[in-house]
Amino acid sequence: MISLIHKESVEKNKWISETDMNNIIVVAESTPGPIAINSSAFIGYKAGKILGSTIATLGVVLPSFTIIILISIFLNYFENAPIINHAFQGIRAAIIILMVEAIFKLSKPLKRNSFFYSLLLISFILSYFFNVNAILLILTGIILGIIKELIKEKKVIHNVWPNDTFFDVL
């Protein structure tokens, strides 16, 4: 999708610059929400302010919306056909594969240090064994991220803690 966006927005229509493109790639993947929506809102704004933003976003949403509704209607007619059930049994395998792929794809750009693995493990354990709410965990992560940076900036513990390497890991 990113190359398509690049082709249309930077090369063909010149709505945004190359720098803008690089910025939005980083930001769209990290800020909340679907990457496609983040990108379309941004590029739409650059091309035509709030109206542009709205129209671009509507543009990216409408095809999906229509197709899914059509598929929904189709499925509602055929949902009890055994062939559909059999297909979905196979599709379970596909889902597992795709999610495993997603795990690797999301981990790749990150620094895989002990901080990373401990957070990952804690999150997994809390969610799987203790059914802690996902949104709660993410919210905690956001707060932790802010606190972590605050600590680094104030260097409060830096003066008290003799060993630097703990915070080097962070």
Residues in 103-162 at the binding interface with another protein, rule: CB under 8 A: 103, 106-107, 110-111, 115-117, 119-124, 127-129, 133-135, 137-142, 144-146, 148-149, 152-153
Burial of 46 (0-12, 13-18, 19+ CB in 10 A): middle
From 97, 156, 157, 169, residue interacting with another protein (rule: CB under 8 A): 97
Q: Do residues 48 and 38 touch, judged by C-beta distance below 8 A?
A: no
What does DSSP assign to residue 80? T
Nearer to another protein, 32 or 162 (CB): 32
Q: Shortest gap between Cβ of 127 and another protein (angstroms)?
A: 4
Nearer to another protein, 146 or 156 (CB): 146
Q: Does 45 bind another protein (CB under 8 A)?
A: yes
From 80, 89, 159, 165, residue interacting with another protein (rule: CB under 8 A): 89
CA distance 72 to 70: 5
Residue listed under structure tokens 């929506």: 37
Point out which span in 5-13, 69-77, 158-166 binds another protein (CB under 8 A).
69-77
> CA 70 from chain center: how many Å?
27
CA distance 7 to 55: 19
Nearer to another protein, 154 or 162 (CB): 154
